[in-house]
Amino acid sequence: MTEINGESSKLPEAVEQFVLRWGDMGSQWGVNRSVAQIQALLFLSDRPLTAEDISEKLGMARSNVSNSLKELLTWKLIHRVPVLGDRRDHFEAETDLWQMATKVAQGRKEREIDPMVRAITAAMENIDDPHISGKVRGRLVAMHDFVTTVDRWYQQMLDVPPSQIMTLIRMGSRVVGLLRFVTRRSGKQAEDS
């Protein structure tokens, strides 16, 4: 067993399994497996780690670790921390789960949703082209409405405190029931008018 800063480089079984599974999930989400594994390791580490520590613990090439750390820094899922008496870079993960989810969502939005919003907005500039059939025009309008509504909703959710969003999430199907009740009541009020 190799020692790193007085600690064993062997990961506890639960940590190792989590790191491996997180890496698998990361690759399914379109994130490099190494990036996801490093993020998982740093998330579960009780102290900042150097690139050398990470390389040793995960059995990865130092260059792979370095590139993965750069990507995690770009996503703002990790940050550098100073360690007294050591000039090397040390890294810690974002451990606030809500902040982590928000940063991932923001990064994905910038890479996936924002280009779609720009593309559909550009397409809408030519919506009156007589060569576009009514059916296609309808689909473009529906797509524009959907994409811009989702984008607006996302922006609004950024202002809602995480505790309130978690309450809403925990309510689950009760929210759907409430929406049905409100919709029926609004429909009944419209009939009565």
Domains of the chain, by residue range, sit at: 3-93, 97-172
Rounded distance, CA 130 to CA 112, Å?
Answer: 30
pLDDT tens digits along 83-113? 999 999 999 999 999 889 888 888 888 888 8
pLDDT tens digits along 23-37? 999 878 778 999 999
Second-level CATH architecture of 3-93: Orthogonal Bundle (1.10)
Q: Residue 95, SS3?
A: coil
Model pLDDT, residue 9:
63
Model pLDDT, residue 191:
67
pLDDT tens digits along 69-81? 999 999 999 999 9
Model pLDDT, residue 174:
80
Model pLDDT, residue 27:
79
